[in-house]
Amino acid sequence: MGYDRAASKRPVDMTLNEDLVRRARRLTPDLSETVERLLGAFVDEAEARAANCQQQIAAHIAASNPFIEKYGTLADEFGDL
């Protein structure tokens, strides 16, 4: 999916582990760009997982509907308790 890399940038207030930031700065010349790239990958993966979950739910409902139409649900039988 990706994100709009041309979108404007703005400062964001974050609290990060000092040691982790110090170590990361030794590994990357542009910490902001690295964090943005990693955050973009995280968001893409999280959105893909959520979409997959929704597809699984829709598939389960579609598979369950014929059974419910034929046999009903437990709520139909025990709804008057």
In a domain, 35, yes or no: yes
Query: What's this model's pTM, rounded to 2 decimal places?
Result: 0.75
Q: 40-65: per-residue pLDDT in tens?
A: 999 999 999 999 999 999 999 999 99
Total domains present in the chain: 1
Question: How sure is the predictor about 18, in pLDDT bands with cuts at 50, 70 and 90?
Answer: very high
Q: What's the rounded Cα separation, in Å, for the pair 20 and 18?
A: 5
Domain span at 67: 18-78
Q: 60-76: per-residue pLDDT in tens?
A: 999 999 999 999 888 87
Tokens at 80, concatenated: 């008057």
In a domain, 4, yes or no: no
C-beta of residue 3 within 8 angstroms of C-beta of residue 40? yes
In a domain, 5, yes or no: no
Sign of CA dihedral 40, 41, 42, 47: positive
In a domain, 12, yes or no: no
In a domain, 9, yes or no: no
